[in-house]
Amino acid sequence: MGFLVATACGLVGNYLILRRMALVGDAISHSILPGIAVAFLLSGSRGSLPMFIGALVAGAVTTVLIEVIHKKSRVKQDAAIGIAFTSLFAVGVILISLFASKVDLDQECVLYGEIAFIPLESSVELAGLKLGPPSVVRMAVVTLVVALLVGLFYKELLVSSFDPALSFSLGINSTFVHYALMAMLSVVVVSAFEAVGAILVIAMLILPGATATLLSNRFPVMLGLTVLHAALSAVLGLHLGVWLNCSLAAAMVVAATFLFVLAWIFSPEEGLLSRVFKDRSGAVEPRCESAGSSE
Amino acid sequence: MSRAATTSSRTNRTAVRRRYSLSSVLYPLFALLYLLCAHSAHAARIGDISETSLSTQALRFFTFQDPSVRYALLGSMLLGISCGLLGSFLVVRKMALVGDALSHAVLPGVALGFLWNMSKDPVAIFIGATLAGLLGAGAVHLIKQTTRLKEDTALGLVLASFFAVGICMVTMIQRLPTGNKSGIDKFLFGQAAAIGAADVQLMGVVTGLAVVVIAVFYKEFLVTSFDAGFARAVGLPVQAFHYGLMLLLAFAVVIALQAVGVVLVSAMLITPAAAAYLLTDRMHRMLLLAALFGMAAGALGAFLSFLGNNLPTGPFMVLAATTVFAAAFLFGPRHGVLARWWRQRSRAARIQRENTLKAIYHVLEARNFQGEGVSLRELAERRRETEEEIQAQAAALARHELATLPGEADALFLTPAGWQTACAIVRNHRLWELYLTHTAQIAADHVHEDAEKIEHVLGEDVVRELERRLNYATKDPHGKVIPAVPVTLESKPEATPGYGRG
C-alpha cells in the first residue's frame, strides 16, 4: 500500500516540480478536505465514489480560486495559493468538527491517515483470487491508471511542462493539460489520503521527484528513480514506524527524507560531496566552469 | 545621489510618523495586558463548560467573567497583531509560502520542547520551536543554493519532512503512558481556550518585540524588501535583515501555534496582510491595517469558537480573516473587483460617447459644416448601426450635456462642449495618423486602426508635442483637415479627452 501511494504520488509529483507548482500540490492536498467532508455529509457514507467526486470538485475549486485571486487583483500567486487553501482547509476542519464528530470520519485519521489499520480489513476476492484489502485494491487501480496516463500522454505532458510555447504550436492545449494534471492530482491525493493523511501527501508528492531530480538529468530515468525511491521509502518507513511506535505514514516520510538527504550528499553530479571534490580539482580550471555547474 | 537622499529622508519621516501612530495603539494594549497578568486567578477552562445555550455563552464572553476568556481573547488579538505585521513583509516580498513552510517546520521543535520535561512548558516549547523554525529556514536556503531544485520545491520539501518528523514525535508522545492527556494535539488546530497567563505574557513580549523592531528598523526593512540592490549599494546587511525577519517570523508562528494551530498559522500571516495590500499603496498604512485585521480576526475567531463548545479556534480565525480579504477583494476602493469593473465600464461608456461625437463630426464635415443638427438616421447610416443603438447613444450624449435633442428628438445639436470634444477627438485621430506616416514611416492605409485606439487616451501635453514635431501641419495623410479645437467657446479643459478621466 505504501509503495502504491508513493508511486502514484511520485509520478504526478515529478510534473509538479518541473512546472514549479510544488506548492499547488500542497494547496490541493489541503483543500480537498472540505470536498471530502461535504461529500461525506451529503452521501452519508465513506464510499469511494462520492469522495472522489467531492475531492475532484474541491481540487477544481482551489485551482480556479487561485487563478481568480491572482488574475483579478494584484495579489501575487504565492499569496493567492496561501489564502485559497487555508480558507478551504479551515472550512473542512470546521465541517468535520461540527458534523462528523459522531461518525468514523475523525480528524486524526484525516490528518495522519492510518496505514496500519489496512491489514485489518477483509480482503476482496475477484475470480477466486485473493486480491487484498479493498483500499489496497483501489489504490492499485489508481496507481495503474496514473502510470497508464503518464505513459500514454508522456509527450504531451513533457512538452507542455518544459515549453508551453512549443506545445501551443504543436496543437496541444496546455490549459487542458494543466487542468487534467490537476484532476489527476486530486484523484491521487484523495486516494492516498486514507493511507497517509491530507498533509503528508505533499511529502509523497515532492520528495521522490526532488530526489530523482538530483540524481538524473533525463526525464525517463527520473520517473524510474521516482518509483525506486517510492519502494525504498515504503519499506524503510514501515520498519521505522514499527520500531519507533509512531505514525507509520509519518515514518514513511521520514524515511523518504532520509533518502533525499543521502541523494543530496552523495549524488554523482549534484551532490555536496562531488561538489567539494570538483571545487578542489577545479582550482586550476577557468572560473566560469564551476560557476556554470552550480546552476 | 540627491534622489537617494530625498528618498531616505522621506522614508525617515514616514518612519517617525509610524512610530507615533504605533505607540498610540500600543500603550493601551500594554496597559490592558499588565492588568490581566496581575490577575492570576485560575478559573475553569472554557472547554470544561458543558451544555449551555448560545446566548449565555455570548454573554459570558462579552462580560469577561472568567480570566480564561480574557486570556483567550487577548492572546488571539496579540497574535493577530504580530502575524499581521510580519505577514505584510512576507506578502510584499512574495514570500507568502515561506510562512507556510516555517509554520509546519516548527512542529518537531514543539514536540522536543514538550519532551524536555513532559509538560506544556511555554518557554521550553518556545525555544524548541524557534530553533526548529530557523533550522527549516536555513535548510530551504541551503537546498536552494546547493542544488538545482527551485524555491517552491525546497519549501515543499522542508515543510513536508519537518512536519513528518513532528507528527512522528507527536504520535510517539501520545502513545506514551503520560502523553495522552497532554493536549499536545491541540497544537495542530489550536484551542484558544488553552491559553494561560504565562502564554499571554509570552505573546505580549513577542508582539512588543516585533512592533519595536519593525518601528526602529522600519526604513531598513522597507528598503531591503522593495529594493535589495539599492539596500546593498548603500551598505545595508540585506542577509542579516532577511534572517532577522525570519527570526521574528519564527517567534510569531510559535506564539500563534496554541491558538491557531500549526496548519493554519500561515493563513494568519498571509490573509490579513493580503487584504491590507489590496486597500492601500503605502507600507506603513498596510502594516497598520494588517495588524488591525489580524486583531479583528483573532478576536472574532476566539468568540466564535467559544460559542460552540470545544470547537477549534484556528479555522474560525482563518475564516474571519478570509471574510475580510473577500470584502477587500470585492469592494476595495482602488483595487477591488467592483471598482475595477466600474472603472472599465465608465471608460467604455466614455469611448462610446467620443466615437458618437466623432461620427457627428464626420457627418458635418461631409456636408462642409452646413447646417447645425445631425439627424439620427444620418448618424445610423454613418456608423452602420440600428436606430435603437443610435437613440441610446444620443441619450447618453444628452445626459452628459454634449448635445441636445430638441423637439421630436430625431436630430442632435452639439453643445459647445460637445463640439469641442468632437474636434479634439478628430484632431487626435488625424494627428496620430500623420505622426505614424510621417515619423514612423508606416503606410497611410495602415494607420487608421491604431489611431482609433489612441485617440481616446492622448493627453493635452502629448498633443502639443505632436503638433510641435509635425510643424503644426493642417492636413492628415488622407488629405483631410486637422481641426483646431475651439478654445474661445466657454472653454472646459476637462471636456477634452485624455488620461485620468471617468
**What single string gives the DSSP state of each residue in B51-82?**
S--HHHHHHHHHHT-SHHHHHHHHHHHHHHHH
Q: From CA B434, how far away is CA B468, in angstroms rounded?
A: 12
Residue A103 is given by DSSP the state S
- How far is Cα A52 from Cα A40, in angstroms, rounded to an integer? 11
Q: Please give the pLDDT value at position B419.
A: 84
Residue B168 touches chain A, beta carbons under 8 Å:
yes
Model pLDDT for residues B337-348, shown as the tens digit of each residue? 888 889 889 988
B143/A205 Cβ within 8 A: no
Q: Average of pLDDT values for A109-123? A: 50
Q: What is the mean pLDDT of residues B13-39?
A: 45
- Chain B residues with CB inside 8 Å of A81's CB? 96-97
Whether residue B293 lies within 8 A of chain A, CB to CB, comes out as no
- Cα–Cα dist A234/A4, whole Å: 9
Report the range out of A106-110, B257-261, B460-464 with the highest average pLDDT. Answer: B460-464
B298 touches chain A (CB under 8 A): no
The pLDDT value given to residue B17 = 47
Please tell me the distance from the alpha carbon of residue B13 to that of residue B20, in angstroms, as a whole number.
11
Q: What per-residue confidence (pLDDT) applies to B247?
A: 86
- Res. B57 pLDDT band, cuts 50 70 90: low
Chain B residues within 8 A of A89 when measuring between CB atoms: 263-264, 315, 318
pLDDT digits (tens, 9 = 90+) for A168-177: 777 777 777 7
Give A210 or A128, the one with higher predicted confidence. A210
In whole angstroms, give the CA distance from residue B471 to residue A196: 76
At B240 the pLDDT is 85
**d(C-alpha B242, C-alpha B131), whole Å:** 16
Q: How far apart, in whole angstroms, are the C-alpha atoms of residue B414 and residue B399?
A: 12
Q: Is the pLDDT of residue B495 over 50?
A: no
Task: Report the SS3 class of residue A41.
Answer: helix
Q: What is the CA radius of gyration of chain B?
A: 32
C-alpha separations of B353 from B393, B394, B417, B429, B450 in Å? 7, 9, 13, 15, 19
Element (H, E) at B374: strand B374-375
Q: Does the pLDDT value for residue A111 go beyond 80?
A: no
Least confident of B221-230, B345-354, B423-432, B476-485: B476-485
The segment with the largest mean pLDDT, out of A25-29, B55-59, B85-89, is B85-89
DSSP state of A271: -
State the angle between helix axes of B387-399 and B337-366 in degrees (0 to 180), rounded to the nearest 10: 110
Distance of alpha carbon B394 from alpha carbon B396, whole angstroms: 5
Of B91, B92, B144, B152, which to mutate for an interface test with A (greatest number of A Cβ within 10 Å)?
B152
Q: Is the pTM of this model over 0.95?
A: no
Q: Which three cell numbers stand for residue B139?
A: 535548510
* Nearest-angstrom CA–CA distance, A90 and A98: 12
Amino acid found at A96: I
Do the Cβ atoms of A252 and A233 come closer than 8 Å?
Answer: yes
Q: Which of A98-107, B2-11, B385-394 has the lowest mean pLDDT?
A: B2-11
Contacts of B265 in chain A (CB under 8 A): none
Which is it for strands A124-126 and A129-132: parallel, antiparallel or unpaired? antiparallel
Report, as an integer, the average pLDDT of A32-57.
76
Q: If you classify domain B341-495 with CATH, what class do you get? A: mainly alpha
B493 to chain A, closest Cα gap in Å: 33
pLDDT above 70 (res A2): no
Q: Do B337 and A73 touch (CB under 8 A)?
A: yes
**Stretch B304-314: mean pLDDT, rounded?**
73
DSSP B475: B
Q: Does B167 touch chain A (CB under 8 A)?
A: yes
Q: Using the beta-carbon criterion (under 8 Å), do B165 and A254 form an inter-chain contact?
A: yes
Whether B316 has its CB under 8 Å from any CB of chain A: the answer is yes
- B329 contacts on A by Cβ (under 8 Å): 69, 72-73
Average pLDDT for residues B473-488, to the nearest whole number?
A: 75
Instruction: Please state, in angstroms and rounded to a whole number, the distance separating the CA atoms of residues B441 and B275.
Output: 48
- The rounded distance, in Å, linking the Cα atoms of B170 and B411 is 82
Between CA B247 and CA B82 the distance in angstroms is: 13
**Are B277 and A200 in contact (CB < 8 Å)?**
no
Q: Where are the alpha helices (DSSP H) in B459-499?
A: 460-469
Average pLDDT over every residue of B95-110: 83
Q: CA geometry: angle at B343 spanning B339 and B347, to 5°?
A: 170
In angstroms, the Cα distances linking A217 to A120, A233, A238, A269 are 42, 22, 30, 9
Q: What is the mean pLDDT of residues A210-238?
A: 79
B83 touches chain A (CB under 8 A): no
**Rounded-to-integer distance, Cα A73 and Cα B349, Å:** 23
Give me the mean pLDDT over the B188-206 stretch. Answer: 77
Q: How large is the C-alpha radius of gyration of chain A?
A: 20
pLDDT at A183 (0 to 100): 78
More confident site: B289 or A140? B289
Domain ranges of chain B: 2-39+53-335, 341-495
Among A46-50, A231-235, B10-14, B111-115, name the one with the lowest average pLDDT.
B10-14
pLDDT over 70 for what percent of chain B? 77
Quote the mean pLDDT of chain B.
Answer: 76
Tell me the chain B residues in contact with residue A111 when contact means C-beta distances shorter than 8 Å.
188
Q: What is the mean pLDDT of residues A172-200?
A: 74
- Mapped onto helix, strand or coil, the DSSP state of residue A44 is coil
The mean pLDDT of B233-254, rounded to a whole number, is: 85
φ, ψ at A79 (rounded to 5°): -65, -35
Interstrand relation of B411-414 and B374-375 (parallel, antiparallel or unpaired): antiparallel
Other beta carbons less than 10 A from residue B467's beta carbon: 17
Cell of B429: 485621430
Name the pLDDT band for B293 (thresholds 50, 70, 90): very high
- Say if residues A246 and A237 touch (Cβ distance below 8 Å): no
- The answer to whether residue B309 scores a pLDDT higher than 70 is no
Query: Distance between CA atoms of B473 and B493, rounded to whole angstroms?
Result: 23
Cβ atoms of A230 and A10 within 8 Å: the answer is yes
Q: In chain A, what residues touch B263 (CB-CB under 8 Å)? A: 30, 89, 199
Measured torsion, CA atoms of residues A92, B312, B105, B79, in degrees rounded to the nearest 10 = 120
CATH, domain B2-39+53-335, list 3.20.20.70, 1.20.58.220, 3.30.590.10, 1.10.3470.10: 1.10.3470.10
Of the two residues B490 and A236, the one the predictor is more confident about is: A236
Helix count and strand count (H, E) for chain A: 13, 2
Residue pair B293/B246 in contact (Cβ under 8 Å)? The answer is no
Q: Quick one: pLDDT at residue A140?
A: 75
Q: Which residue has the cell 473587483?
A: B337
